[in-house]
Amino acid sequence: MNRSRLLALVAAVSLVFAATATADPTADRHDLKWFVHTDLVSGGNDLAFYEDMIDAALEDALLLLEGQQGPVDSVCCQKLDKEEHAPGVTLSTFGTPGDGLDVVDGSDYSTLQGLGGSGTRAFLVDSILNCGGSSAIGCADLPSCNSSYDDDPDLILVVTLDANDSGVLGPVIAHERGHNACLQHVANNECELMQGAVAGGCLSAGECTSFGTARQSASGSCACHAGTTQGTADPDATACTDGPITGVCSGGVCGETPGIASTELIACGAPGAAGGETTDDPLRLSSLTGGWEDLADLGITLKALDYDPDGDVLYGIQDAAGADLLVTLDRSSWTVLTSTALTGHDDVIAMAFDPGATSGSGDDRLLALSSDGTFEDLIEIDPGTAAVTLLGPLNIGAPGNFTGLAYDFTRQRLYTSSVANTGLYEIDLSSCGNPFFCNAASVPGLGVAREDSSLGYSSVSDALHLVGRTTYNLSGGGTREVSFHDTIDAATLTETFSVGVDPYTPSGLAAIPVPEPGRDGALLAGVIALAGLARRRRAS
């Protein structure tokens, strides 16, 4: 079999439950035999540590392959499985101490080809110095390809701790397995899984078919895919069962409830990634995969959005001359129900709902950012009267720097998203007016600095969702704008998922609980009111 190397990925509700699909597509299964270099196994980083790392990455890879990242994406019924080396053993070491194979260079691939026996072998190393002539965070065999299934089993792929440290190990695994399946680099869409520089998740229908030719077997199914062929997802909030998981579909993937899939995200936005788009469409986003659909044309430009779970009210800020408008929206017809002027404020850019300490509406308030051209002011809006109270300007004078706002009412903490520093700031509400400014401080350890970002908080999954775009400088000149969906655990303020999605421009984000299905898929009355339940890992 002729092999060549490809340049590797570089680091650069309201819903009604549908019946569970009666015929799901059969899954193409990819059995990967995993190895970690012996020099990486030391101290607390034992094989169990790397087992957890790889399991989490394979879950993220599944969300990219099986899930949908927007209208251009085809869902692919592909499962990446860990093959057992021996009964109960799914991860082994390779190499010898000090042999240098933990840092892979061009001459090391022939050595790796001879390790681990037959089948597809996946090697976790520290870094890659040379893959097709450049440094990389992953590298893979690109075999001589045809349309036959199951005829090219002995392949390797190499992924790195560098990829894990960058939060993209899952996308890199999916990308490199795509090379094993004869897929080459593409540059026709910003969210493509197989582009060479950014960790997207989109695949065309043809790429899905090609991906399947690298399978070792076909068994099981994808519970949230419609019909018997790949390419179409069941509607979000469809009741589903997939292995040990009983829950609801979100972006083509069966997610546990309560959990991330228990939240529907609504953005005011516009298809297309470029700045300056008219954000007059409501977009429904999958909280699990980042995939989205355009629901309607509102006919008005919205700049901010959030949801009152007590009163089941969706609030928006409408752009208007002289004074912006506080509006409420009907989520069935997507029409404006009420509209009230925010006197003295014509540039309100972000909004978050605070339900107060009680379940009644008397202590409800809307927190918002309003720009005066010098500082961005934190204001309080009475939801009933639209009366505005100034809480104080942010202590960082950078108009346009802060664009999203979310209130974690489980912990009574306010966050704003930014293109600066780590991308997320916490605003200390107790500091407002003492003596004047509201103190905002960057949350350390994150890497979610996004342009035109919006932010929302879900108490059901206890997660912050951030959407926005990043502009990359291309090596050959020019730039590329990529839309991202980031999920942040609100308890630990650590990122749990990040993916490049089909381009759109957000301008506000609201998290709405999805009704919980019964075991038979029937709709239970009410909405989920549980808080503090973080995302659980799902098996594939």
The CB density around residue 400, as the number of other CB atoms within 10 Å, is 13
**3-17+26-221 has which fold?**
Collagenase (Catalytic Domain) (3.40.390)
Distance CA 100, CA 378 (A): 54
Cα–Cα distance list, 424 to 134, 330, 495 (Å): 33, 30, 11
Question: E-strand spans in 382-476?
Answer: 388-393, 402-408, 413-418, 424-428, 439-442, 451-458, 463-473
pLDDT at residue 399 in the model: 67
Q: Which residues pair with 127 in a beta bridge?
A: 103
**263-513 has which fold?**
Neuraminidase (2.120.10)
pLDDT at residue 358 in the model: 80
pLDDT at residue 43 in the model: 82
The CB density around residue 385, as the number of other CB atoms within 10 Å, is 9
Domain ranges, ordered by start, for the chain = 3-17+26-221, 263-513
Return the SS3 of 48: helix
pLDDT at residue 144 in the model: 72
Q: What are phi and psi of 416, to 5 degrees?
A: -130, 145
For residue 179, the surrounding DSSP H or E stretch is: helix 169-180
- The total number of residues shown for the chain amounts to 540
The 10s digit of each residue's pLDDT in 181-194 is 989 998 777 789 99
| pTM: predicted TM-score of the whole model, two decimal places | 0.86
pLDDT at residue 411 in the model: 96
In terms of Cα–Cα distance, which of 380, 395, 451 is closest to 427? 395
Q: How far does Cα 17 stand from its chain's mean position?
A: 23
pLDDT at residue 532 in the model: 25
What are the residues whose beta carbons fall under 8 Å from the beta carbon of 221, sequence distance 6 or more?
24, 25, 26, 27, 77
In terms of Cα–Cα distance, which of 363, 449, 349, 437 is closest to 396? 437
In terms of Cα–Cα distance, which of 515, 525, 532 is closest to 257? 515
pLDDT at residue 521 in the model: 32
pLDDT at residue 513 in the model: 93
Question: E-strand spans in 66-145?
Answer: 78-82, 91-94, 103-104, 120-125, 127-131, 134-136, 138-143
- Would you say 109 and 238 are in contact if contact means Cβ atoms under 8 Å apart? no
pLDDT at residue 410 in the model: 93
| Residue tagged 């950012």 (tokens) | 369
Tell me which residues of the chain have a pLDDT lower than 50.
1-21, 518-540
- Would you say 86 and 121 are in contact if contact means Cβ atoms under 8 Å apart? no
